[in-house]
Amino acid sequence: MAEARVRGNSIHYLEVKPHQPTADWPVIFIHGSGGNADLWRKVMDELAPNYRAIAVDLPGHGSSQGEGFRSVSEYGDFMNDFLEALGLKKAVLGGHSLGGAIVQDVALRHPQKLRALLLIGTGARLRVLPDALESMRKMALGEIPPKFEAWGFSEKASREIIAEGEREWAKTGSLVRYHDFLACDRFDIIGEVEKIRLPALIACGQEDRLTPIKYSQFLNQKLPGSRMELISGAGHMVMLENPKDLSKAILSFLGGL
C-alpha cells in the first residue's frame, strides 16, 4: 500500500495505474462503515487497464492512523484534505454505504474538485436500526464481545465471500465501527441532495437489505441525468459479491464521461 500524510497521520491507500490511460483524472473509492481499502481490490483490478484507481483507508480504519470520526461532514473534510495531499485537482469519487454519504457531502461542498460520482449501496439518508446501533455500542464499550453479522450479504452469498467480509471487518476496531454507524444514523441530506449537479452512477445490489433499492431510486430521481444500475446476485456488499458486474457498470459509465 502507498502512504500519504494527512493532518499529521499516516493514511494508507491502494493504487493501480493503467496500462493505457483513457482519462486525466483518477477514480477514488471510499469504503463503508468499519471497512477498508482492500474491499475494492477486485473492482480496481477490473479498472486497471484503462483507469488510475485509488482506494483509501479512512482514518482509524485498516492500516491508517487516526481515530475516525462521528459525522459524515468530518469525513468529507478529511477527503478534501486527502485529495489535496495527493495533489489531485479533479477526480471521480466513489463510495459504498457510509462512503457514498461522504461522496455526497464532498459533492455538495467541493463540487469543483469532482468530475463525477459513483454512489454504491447508499442513500441520502442512512438510518441505522436502533437494535443494531445499540449492539455496536455495547461491542465498542466491551460490554459484549465483537460479533460479525452477515446482514450485508445476500442470502445466497457463499461461505467464502462472507468469510472474506469478516476478515476485512476485523481489521478495524469496534469503537471506530460504532462511530461510523453513528455517522450514518445522523446523516440526512434528503432536502439538499438535489443541489448536486454532477454526473452520477447509482448502483445497488438487487438483494440489498441495508440500503434497499428504494434508496437508490430516490437518488436517481433527485440527481439530474444520473444513471442507475441494479447488480444481480448481490446484497449490500456488492463489491465482494459481484465485482465483475459492478465493474462493468462503472466502466460503461466512465466511458460515457
Give residue 237's domain range.
2-256
- Per-residue confidence (pLDDT) for residue 118, from 0 to 100: 98
- Per-residue confidence (pLDDT) for residue 102, from 0 to 100: 98
The length of the chain is: 257
Is residue 117 within 8 Å of 198, Cβ to Cβ? yes
- Per-residue confidence (pLDDT) for residue 1, from 0 to 100: 80
C-alpha dist (Å) from residue 168 to 33, 62, 152, 164: 11, 8, 13, 6
Q: What is the mean pLDDT of each run of 10 residues along the chain (257 residues)?
A: 93 92 92 97 95 97 95 98 96 98 98 98 96 93 92 94 94 96 97 97 97 97 96 97 98 96
Extract the runs of DSSP E, i.e. beta strands, from 162-212.
200-205
Is residue 251 within 8 Å of 225, Cβ to Cβ? no
Residue 57 CA, chain-centre distance (Å), reads: 10
- Per-residue confidence (pLDDT) for residue 19, from 0 to 100: 79
- C-alpha cell read off for 55: 482506494
Q: What is the CATH number of the domain that holds 200?
A: 3.40.50.1820
Using a CB cutoff of 8 Å and minimum separation of 24, what contacts does 4-9 make? 4/82, 4/85, 4/86, 5/85, 6/59, 6/78, 6/81, 6/82, 6/85, 7/66, 7/78, 7/81, 9/59, 9/64, 9/65, 9/66
Q: Which amino acid is at 165?
A: G
- Per-residue confidence (pLDDT) for residue 116, from 0 to 100: 98
- Per-residue confidence (pLDDT) for residue 225, from 0 to 100: 87
- Per-residue confidence (pLDDT) for residue 22, from 0 to 100: 82
- Per-residue confidence (pLDDT) for residue 125, from 0 to 100: 98
| Structural domains in the chain (count) | 1
Does pTM surpass 0.95?
yes
